């Protein structure tokens, strides 16, 4: 379980797409590379909503994405 908690605690963003995707990412740059929305645009939109969430549309694919900042508290993960 320790390996798993070490893995998940590094994820900071949850991204849901209207293309039926759901992924977690470690950085805005990682998201940007995947969904083709500039990381500075994502950052700006997150700040507009208190840093918690935003909606973005990829100019390339025209897909919409909901991006949610997450914090995984591994101290509350049951190790049993």
pLDDT digits (tens, 9 = 90+) for 54-64: 999 999 999 99
pTM: 0.86
Asked whether the predicted pLDDT for residue 80 surpasses 80, the reply is no
Give residue 2's pLDDT: 82
pLDDT digits (tens, 9 = 90+) for 1-18: 688 888 888 999 999 999
Name the strand (E) or helix (H) holding 46. helix 39-48
16-43: average pLDDT: 97
2-71 — its CATH code? 1.10.10
**What's the distance, CA 21 to chain centroid?**
12
């Amino acid at each position: 379980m320790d390996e798993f908690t070490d893995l998940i605690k590094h994820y900071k963003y949850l991204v849901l797409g209207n293309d039926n995707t759901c992924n977690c990412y470690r950085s805005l740059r990682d998201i940007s590379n995947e969904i083709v929305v500039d990381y500075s645009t994502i950052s700006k939109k997150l700040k507009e909503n208190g840093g918690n969430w935003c909606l973005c549309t990829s100019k390339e694919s025209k897909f919409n994405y909901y991006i949610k900042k997450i914090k995984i508290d591994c101290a509350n993960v049951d190790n049993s």
